[in-house]
Structure 1
Amino acid sequence: MGLNILSAWAGVYTPTLAQNSTYYNPVLKGWNSDPSCIQVNGTFFCVISTFISFPGLPIYASKDLVNWKHISHAWNRESQLPGYSWATTGQQQGMYAATIRIHKGTFYVICEYLGSGQTAGVLFKTTDPFDDKSWSDPVRFVANKIDPDLFWDDDDKVYVATQGIILQEIDINTGKVGTAKELWNGTGGVWPEGPHIYKRDGYYYLLIAEGGTGTDHAVTMARAKSITGPYEPSPHNPHLTNRGTNEYFQTVGHADLFQDTQGKWWGMALATRVGRNPNSYPMGRESVLFPVTWNTGEWPVMQPVRGKMNGWALPVLNRDLPGDGPFNSDPDKYDFAEGKPIPRNLVYWRVPREGAFAVTDKGLQVVLGKNNVGGLPGGSQPAASTISFIGRRQTDTTFKFSVDLTFSPQETMQEAGVTAFLTQNAFVQLGVILNNQQLSFRFNATGQDILSAVPAAWVDKPIRLHIEMFTPNEYTFSAMLVSDEKTKMEVGKAPITLLSGGLGSSFVGTLIGVYATCNGAGSELDCPSNAPKAYFTRWRYTGGRQYYSATEFIPSVGSNGMGWN
């Protein structure tokens, strides 16, 4: 049974806490921050922040709360928000924290898009969250603050609550919003945000995040008899936090609460696995599950977030879900057969240019982009579209990734390769590049290139590129001739601190993937017309160890118990 943190503070507040099952956090591994979740007929659905990665706002579904299938993206086509992505130059702008809700059979995802210079509020709708195409073009609304919540009252009035904490009535068909009303400013922590409203036992309960995104992050609550207040702060605040502790999971906050089919309450929040090292969390902010005891008329009790959790009896393990997306924890085994779609868990950094990526009879074809992955857009906003990069979330503390590259550069500085990518300001890459008529490996971990010759026998032959983490602290980049595993050679290493960003300063997490570039050659937005295409096949990602404390781990899904297939 979990520790009753409220009893330690309030003395007499000691309801029975959840028990009967054991599971491990995070349940949504890798960069999956700001979760919002609901339960519909025994299936749980969550939406996650994605900032400028695209497709954005992934929808995950689960029958058992531990196996989460990636079923769609609410923002999945350029026509939904024309020009927004390419106008966004900031690395941590884009789709901020969303809320998912269902009302009368329609699913809604509400969010705010920052950085485009246009109307920021967006509200997507669907009756089939398992189908990308079913997500509507968004209803746009004026939102001056981030983190919108969506709440239907008993009189069918609909409200949006945002950072601040500000409440407005909203017309979900036109986007028209009413007069702003400030509800509550939290308990004194900075950045009161991430509001969610629940109506229960005659009260409107307001749950928020405050304290910023670093180690002071916390969940606090207030309640009122009227939706517009006045709101009475909970005497048990903060209801959830790991601040002031040495716990492995830190920055716990930005939560949402929901019930299972047995009426038991659960919550999902974000957390980072940093322990006592604030610069070592390459997977960024992940989603953690915690049981909640919420007795009639009382304040909820949220079990503190740990790596190994004891909670309510979980639903029976069940991976029987519709849709064609992968499960979050599963390994990748993609051969890119012609006619097959690009797998759903692979994402771009902004909307890609039309035709930049295609599955062909030669594998995943990537057209060289004008900018390298670190090439920030200049005065021309559409330059943001000229990065040819695609990747998947790093979802494991240790892992192995490899992909086969077929690439024959014709002019100097034409390049293709693999990268561990946090933002355009923080990445590590290993490329095959033509440099002064010499085919070379280019390794870049600190902004300074290290060049080494590709063996002459490898020229014009497929090369397998590797990114591996044998320990939780370091990336290893290697290469080999596809036809001969004995040729494998290490090219470079990089510490995870390069992809962690400093505590609280990085909203995103590491993506593992591939890129192709002409490194600025050509004119306007295009590489030279004779630039070759890069082809990638045999994409493999396999998790090794999944740490749930500084010293304890479980084997990742797909591993053989020793950490690898």
Structure 2
Amino acid sequence: MPTIPINPIIPGFAPDPSLVRVESDYFLVNSTFHLFPGLPIYTSKDLVHWEHIGNALHRQSQMSLEHSSTKINPDLLATGGLFAPTIRYHNETFYIVCTNIIHKPDIPGRAENFVISTKDIWAGEWSDPVYFDHDGIDPSLFFDDDGKVYLQGSHTVRPRVTEINLFEIDLTTGKRLSEEKNIWGGTGGKFPEGPHIYKRDGWYYVLIAEGGTHEGHMITTARSKDIWGPYEPCPSNPILTAAGTREYIQYVGHCEAFTDPEGNSWGVCLGVRMEKGGRYIMGRETFLTSGEWEEGEWPAFDTVKMDPKGVVAAQGDGKPRLSARPGVDFLHIRNPELSNYSSLGTDRAVTITSVSSDLSHPNESPSFIGKRMRYLDGTSSVTIVSPPEGSRVTAGLVVYKDEHRYLRIFLDTSESRIGFELVNGYQKLSKSNTQSVEKVTEYHLTIDHTEKEFRLSYSAGEGSKTTLAVIDTLEMTDPDFVGPVIGAFAVDQGHAVKVEFRNLEIS
């Protein structure tokens, strides 16, 4: 068995992974929900070093994310937008099927399912979406030997009840070519979802996630000689889970099975790094685990671990394990007005034109540009050049999850004050404080973070560094879909203001 790479392979906000291997190259995609651009594409040749090469939803004309607000349920924060993509390759074409969940007052939680494609994944140009009829989420594709293409997905039977359905599809038009049929309901765990069909040794195997995406998350499987079933469940289900264990990696699920060029079996899945106190500040990340899938047998996966023995020495080549092409890893909220952002010649400097919509707005796009938080321990910082005299704008640095939850440190030019604000609508938390500062030409804002705390600090001009607040990361840890994104923002009181940010560093 080959060495398992250091986990997570895609750290930070990287849930619902799907992976396809094309010869010696691996390509992986994740959910992005309410953020633009959406559906990041990562690639690797060794499962160790990964590069973010583009985003499948990269043009605003492809799709609107206006109605991707977050609903607060008693046991979950459910964000709309882009759910659980699947990536596949067939006849020299890459396909991604995905769901855009739309939250409107009159149509809560409507699922719009679509497929996009590209002939050249390296160019980063994907087609406009072709929509198809599927009342549910987590669509996946299976290309059979006879040329037929099947769509399998998590079908909504009634609110909060799902099952795995299948139908034949024409990917060019999105038209159904067969009736939709239920093929499996799982083993009894709630929310059967995330299905993938694989064909091996004359068997059709369906791998699914069930039990919910948090405490009870697990991977189960069933197989049939006929793609339409009936499907026989594996006697060893679940074949992957961390439920009921004390493993550091918890909530393991949503797995994609694949083999490397040498024939070794692997699983790529989501999980969270959970500290003993219940903190999992990074949210759902992408992990890798080894497995076995012998001829005619059931698949099996090893327990997901962070750092297996000997891996650090084996991979100590000094190369970054996650990199990105210039600019592709920047994120905005929902449907940004891209003309409000102008680069100053480097990705560490940007001018943002403020808008009146704040981070708390459920549908509009506040002026924000940021990146996924990639490290448990790190420092993010920015320098704000003092806006013109008389400007009334609030600008700063924020740890953002959605309109209900963010933690920020900011300059308020209307009162010449530095402040912080914690908002967590799920926990019904609200904290804030401000301090007067002298007017200077530059203000330096910093957010230091560890697994247990956020430390918000500032300095004015050449002044000394002052800690404004220390926040327990539990106050930003919730049962949700998303992960933390850190970036710069600017909000005004009705008059657009150009705010210059320099030395933007996001860890």
- Same-fold call, TM cutoff 0.5: yes
Partner of 1:468: 448
- 1:89 and 2:69 are equivalent in the alignment: yes
Partner of 1:535: 500
CA distance in 2 between partners of 1:361 and 1:140 (Å): 39
Report the alpha carbon displacement of residue 492 of structure 1 after superposing the two structures with TM: 1.7
Partner of 2:209: 209
Deviates more, 1:123-132 or 1:250-259: 123-132
Report the alpha carbon displacement of residue 455 of structure 1 after superposing the two structures with TM: 2.5
Specify the code of the residue in structure 1 equivalent to 2:98: C
CA distance in 2 between partners of 1:44 and 1:193 (Å): 24
Contact conserved, 1:409 with 1:434, CA < 8 A, in 2? no
Specify the code of the residue in structure 2 equivalent to 1:127: K
Partner of 1:271: 271
Contact conserved, 1:406 with 1:462, CA < 8 A, in 2? yes
Partner of 1:60: 42
Q: Secondary structure at the match of 2:100?
A: strand
Contact conserved, 1:246 with 1:276, CA < 8 A, in 2? no
Partner of 1:492: 469
Q: For 1:162, which of 153, 161, 165 is the aligned residue? A: 153
Specify the code of the residue in structure 2 equivalent to 1:36: S
Specify the code of the residue in structure 1 equivalent to 2:438: P
- 1:506 and 2:480 are equivalent in the alignment: yes
Count matched residues.
Answer: 477
Specify the code of the residue in structure 2 equivalent to 1:512: I
TM-score (norm: length of structure 2):
0.89
Specify the code of the residue in structure 2 equivalent to 1:247: E
Q: How does 1:51-450 map to 2 (within 5 A)?
A: 51-81=33-63, 84-90=64-70, 92-115=79-102, 120-132=112-124, 134-163=125-154, 164-177=163-176, 178-278=178-278, 280-309=279-308, 329=322, 343-360=327-344, 363-377=349-363, 384-385=364-365, 387-408=366-387, 413-435=392-414, 438-446=415-423, 447-450=430-433
Which string of whole-angstrom CA distances, capped at 9 and with x for unpartnered residues, describes residues 165-201 of structure 1? 0001111000112311100101000000000000000
Q: Secondary structure at the match of 1:428?
A: strand
Contact conserved, 1:50 with 1:57, CA < 8 A, in 2? yes
Report the alpha carbon displacement of residue 413 of structure 1 after superposing the two structures with TM: 4.9
Contact conserved, 2:205 with 2:223, CA < 8 A, in 1? yes
Report the alpha carbon displacement of residue 261 of structure 1 after superposing the two structures with TM: 1.0
Contact conserved, 2:487 with 2:506, CA < 8 A, in 1? no
Contact conserved, 2:271 with 2:284, CA < 8 A, in 1? yes
CA distance in 2 between partners of 1:192 and 1:315 (Å): 38
Over 3 Å counting, the alpha-carbon distance change for 1:511 and 1:196 in structure 2 is: same
Contact conserved, 1:407 with 1:533, CA < 8 A, in 2? no
Contact conserved, 2:17 with 2:256, CA < 8 A, in 1? yes
Q: For 1:35, which of 17, 20, 23 is the aligned residue? A: 17
Higher strand share: 2
User: Matched residues, percent identical?
Assistant: 36
Report the alpha carbon displacement of residue 317 of structure 1 after superposing the two structures with TM: 9.3
Q: Secondary structure at the match of 1:85?
A: coil
Which string of whole-angstrom CA distances, capped at 9 and with x for unpartnered residues, describes residues 410-455 of structure 1? 55751110001111111111111124xx311121124343111123
- 1:49 and 2:31 are equivalent in the alignment: yes
Q: Secondary structure at the match of 1:497?
A: helix
Specify the code of the residue in structure 1 equivalent to 2:118: T
Over 3 Å counting, the alpha-carbon distance change for 1:405 and 1:328 in structure 2 is: farther
Q: Secondary structure at the match of 2:407?
A: strand
CA distance in 2 between partners of 1:54 and 1:536 (Å): 21
Specify the code of the residue in structure 1 equivalent to 2:128: D
Which string of whole-angstrom CA distances, capped at 9 and with x for unpartnered residues, describes residues 103-128 of structure 1? 01100111011016677011110111
Report the alpha carbon displacement of residue 89 of structure 1 after superposing the two structures with TM: 3.0
Contact conserved, 1:64 with 1:318, CA < 8 A, in 2? no
Contact conserved, 1:64 with 1:315, CA < 8 A, in 2? no
Report the alpha carbon displacement of residue 38 of structure 1 after superposing the two structures with TM: 1.1
TM-score (norm: length of structure 1):
0.80
Contact conserved, 1:368 with 1:534, CA < 8 A, in 2? yes
Report the alpha carbon displacement of residue 90 of structure 1 after superposing the two structures with TM: 3.0
Contact conserved, 2:371 with 2:506, CA < 8 A, in 1? no
